[in-house]
Chains A and B, each alone.
Chain A
Amino acid sequence: MVSLLSGIFANHRHNGSSDMKKILFFLFFLFFCPSVALASFSGLHGFVENDIGIKLSNDTTKRDNYNMLEQRFQLKTTYYAQGANYWAEKGAVVNFRGDFTVDEYYSGKTDFDLREMSLSMSPFSKMDIKLGRQVLTWGTGDYLFINDQFPKDYESFFIGRDDEYLKKPSDAIKTSFYPKLANIDLVIIPYFTPNTIATGDRLSFFDSFQGGIAGTNSDRHIVSPPFQMSNNEYALRMYRSFGSNEAAFYYFHGFDKNPRSYKDEANRELYYSPVDVYGASLQGPFARGIGNLEFGYIRSREDTNGSNRTVENSWLKLMAGYSRDLGNDLKIGFQYLVEERLNQGAYDDNLMPSDYRWDEFRHLLTNRITKLFKGQTVNVTLFTFYSPSDKDGYVRPSVSYDITDQWKVTAGMNLPWGEDDRTEFGQMKRNKNIYLRVKYSF
């Protein structure tokens, strides 16, 4: 089982069809392998869904009228080791979740997206290990991430796929220890996975090489760190609770997940600059709701003093949040995030006249309102980002209805806006869409 896992694990970079062969093999293995007698199988579940996202603004991306038109078929299963053997004794569990997709945006391109293929177990009473492809999440923010340096898919986020797809899986080894004093998670990620961001093909964005919002005309190259031991990423969390409060410390050693630094300007090359992140968070009951505080210092390892104009500077980030249940299935949440570019002086001094200059501080406010109706089968959510310093924002209304336990429809909008073309949400302003999703779960 482990060797099969590592096989899939090692080949994750191959294209979809190679992954697909592995999965078919895995399913074959599940159904016909004689060792099935030693495991209990949760059954095969999943869903089939259709997504359509109609564009509400003109753009220069690949298609004018829509930015999402796809079918998705997800299969998931859990496999528990059973019987009198080592694996069962250590509580070994294999989780599999994968999506077959047909993407009409790319003329019906089929693909397979392996979301999870992991083996977890407790080799010792105070130690857990989870190995393989897995989604990793920690930190206290709601759609805002400081110490969660795991990969995200912002393309999915902006076109209106389910929230599940905001998080991208990592190929990782996660080890957790539970000594008396605090709990410790150590994650080792040998294969770098960047964020999925707008590239101009499906979503337009601000491309500094084009000097404005670019679509298919964007021709920049992004260089990933090569696969080698020294490029392993490490993420560490130590956490414990004090009564109803939870405190955590974080450390991350790896790469910026967005290609914000320039490798070779003449060749339009960008790269993921190396960073270390040190942070902490606190969460607990506050004013009849839940309050959270999170802080992070992002140290740019190749530009520690901020004097290199091609490499992103270091940052300080601080976030405070509050959420509350107002009764009658109405919940609200607020967050405030402030980011400070460190060494702004050195940054300013080294800019070239043609460079785009950024301010030292960025302030961001968010608000979430969720109200459930009809026996919690109708969910109406409004999530709003607003930055007073960048003068931009992003409004995400959505309505979903669980028609039955199997059928669910969701409709929503993605409405980024901004005065400026190059701010985080302002650059996305031509990607406004309205989407509809019909999902059948089994």
Chain B
Amino acid sequence: MKRYGLLLFLFFVGTTPAWAQTVEEIVNKANLASYYAGKSGQSDVVMTITDAQGRQRTREFRILRLNVKEGGEQKFYVYFRRPTDVARMVYMVWKNIGKDDDRWLYLPALDLVKRVAATDKRSSFAGSHFVYEDVSGRGVDADIHELIGDEGGLFKIKNTPKEAKGVEFAYYFVWIDKTNFLPMKAEYYNASGKLLRTVEALEIKDVQGYPTAVKSQATDVERKGSTIIDFTNVVYDVGIEDGIFTERYLRQPPTQWVQ
């Protein structure tokens, strides 16, 4: 149905240049394609972090996601497996729109549920070169978007943050695939035009009809080092219920979902 929809869409707009679509439409579609596939989703994740000296670390976790509202609020449950000293640790996020996210951390050795202050969305996710916003999405209203190019089947969009405070970049470019609206590459620049970091989709797979970036890389161009994130066992519409994203399942991980 989704594919037919796209065909119909191409049929009707086929005669006009594709960038007759407004930039907001493109950005919204990219946001939905990259962060909201299915009503819910589950995946095993391996992050391989390589620092400037070439030393590698790995993080392995299971991630569960539920869309509360398409394009809006979401809930995430991250169950750590490796390194072994953080095994069984759980990180839970209620992604809010228009206010700070709610975040919790569960430390099994102390049986401690800790509410985590979550103001800084640009800080590293689990020590990797991905930031929180790369993982859960940056609000589409956070930037001013300009469609500045059309390169080899990709829209090139320039994004300038409305609020310069609290972000490390002055602007960034995103290249979005015209057919599936997945962001293929992002480049972040500082005010003097120096490239700071890049995020790139390395491998796209079709999962249950949803084009999915199953391998991505974030690179710190300035300080060197990069992280590759691999998604395996990706399943959408798994029937995860809202009740999973509560303190009950922080303390007692749902065996059905984390095993």
Contact = CB atoms under 8 A, between A and B. Distances in A.
Contacts of B116: 290, 325
Interface string B111-139: 11101111110111011110000000000
Contacts of B112: 137, 167
Interface string A317-344: 0000001111111010000000000000
A163 B114 CA distance: 14
Interface residues of B, number: 43
Contact of A327 (B49, B102, B123, B128): B123
22 contacts: A42-B87, A45-B84, A97-B109, A135-B110, A138-B113, A140-B115, A164-B109, A290-B116, A290-B117, A292-B115, A324-B119, A325-B123, A326-B120, A327-B122, A376-B126, A402-B57, A404-B55, A404-B57, A405-B83, A406-B83, A408-B85, A442-B84
B117 A325 contact: yes
A46 B87 CA distance: 10
A168 to B, nearest CB: 11
Nearest to A115: B109
A317 to B, nearest CB: 20
B215 interface: no
Interface stretch (B9-17, B186-194, B199-207, B249-257): B249-257
A78 interface: yes
Interface stretch (A29-37, A281-289, A298-306, A308-316): A281-289
Contacts of B248: 128, 176, 178, 183
Interface of B is mostly: loop
Interface of B: 49, 51, 55, 57-58, 82-85, 87-88, 94, 96, 99-100, 102, 109-113, 115-120, 122-124, 126-129, 166, 225, 247-248, 252, 254-256, 259
A107 interface: no
A208 to B, nearest CB: 32
Contacts, number: 112
A91 B254 contact: yes
A210 interface: no
A352 to B, nearest CB: 41
The range of chain A's interface size is 35 or more
A228 interface: no
Contact of B111 (A137, A292, A404): A137
